[in-house]
Amino acid sequence: MAETYFRHAAVKGVCTVVPAGRICLDDECCYYDNAAKVARLKTTVGLNERAVVEAKTTPADLMQYAAERMMKDMKLDANTIDALICVLDNPDYKCPPTACVLHGKLGLPETCMAFDINHGCAGYVYGLNVAFSMVESGYKRILLLVGDTKSTTVNIKDRVSAPIFGDGAAATLLERTQDVEESWFVIGAKGKDYENIMIPAGGARLPYSPETAKETTDEFGQTRSLNNFRMNGRNVFDFTMNVVPKNIEATIKYAAKDVADIDYFVLHQANKSIVQNVASRIGVTDKRKVPVETLAKYGNLAVASVPSVLNDVLFEQLQNKKMTVLLSGFGVGLAYGSVILTLDHVYAPSTIVYEGKNHE
């Protein structure tokens, strides 16, 4: 696992946006043999509702909305943004990068660097690591945008994936500070196991075609095509139990801290059972320090999952005091990463509902 330490980069704002559409698990009983399965998904997995976009709304639309809201509320001068980083795996176009498209729509200056990072559930921590590195090297202000509309890639008849994933995006502002602001990252990946979470078709290796659009049903009764998102639930669960606790423990050790030194553990909202099991394995006994309720409100927001917890659960604390938090993302790749950092009176509104139009 790669370890990186920074002293002069700080998060100054976080803003999460979710679409207005909702799908409730209770309305999908037709996909299950009995009501007990639905009840179990609610209590054990932590599912209830998930936020979903309209057909033509893309991650870029949500990301733009989050960025515009943050820039307006924080009275940011677009000309002071040195770099724009977009983390997503469902871009508007194969070419150009989404960051370049949003660069123009946000009115950023030509001196502002713009690039994409193709990533999923660990992408927020990966994006922070890249942004912190750039700030430490001399960039003064960076806008990090993350977003996903996973509901548009899953097959509604795939009961492993469809009930879990919602849609959302987040904007994060990072700045260089003169005072010491310490942060510690520990990041890694198990690329040999990438096939456990993937969309097989649509890339250069296997382009979309009538053949890839054909649906099949597996031995477990899950229906999907090669165009759809798919996940091996058992293998992914094993990955999270074997790798994620060790990653978090390594991050705490690298920072020379103890579990008690962390005010909140903000984990990727994979599902309630996974989050609580990881927390137990790293020795967190106070459940209030490990929020899990965001999943039931909006679903697993993939790359926007971690910041969604900040704006959904911790927005009051973030705006009014200084806290030490551990952020941890894991999933697609199979990639993982954690960071311990300080959040000190940052701009953090409660979760915002997307009310914009599609930016075609």
Of the candidates 167, 161, 99, the residue with the CA atom closest to the CA atom of residue 127: 99
pLDDT at 158: 87
**Tens of pLDDT, residues 316-331:** 999 999 999 999 999 9
- Phi and psi torsions of 311, nearest 5°: -85, -25
CATH of domain 1-360: 3.40.47.10
Active site residues: 121, 268, 300
Determine contact, residues 339/144, Cβ cutoff 8 Å.
no
Is the bond leading into 310 cis (omega within 30 degrees of zero)?
Answer: no
Determine the 3-state secondary structure of 321 from DSSP: coil
What pLDDT band is residue 355 in, cutting at 50, 70 and 90?
confident
**Tens of pLDDT, residues 15-70:** 999 999 999 888 877 777 777 777 888 888 888 899 999 989 999 999 999 999 99
Bridge-based pairing of strands 141-149 and 83-88 is: parallel
pLDDT at 98: 97
The predicted model scores a pTM of 0.94
- 148 is written with which tokens? 């996903």
- 95 is written with which tokens? 């070419």
pLDDT at 59: 97
Q: What CA–CA distance (Å, rounded) separates 246 from 255? A: 14
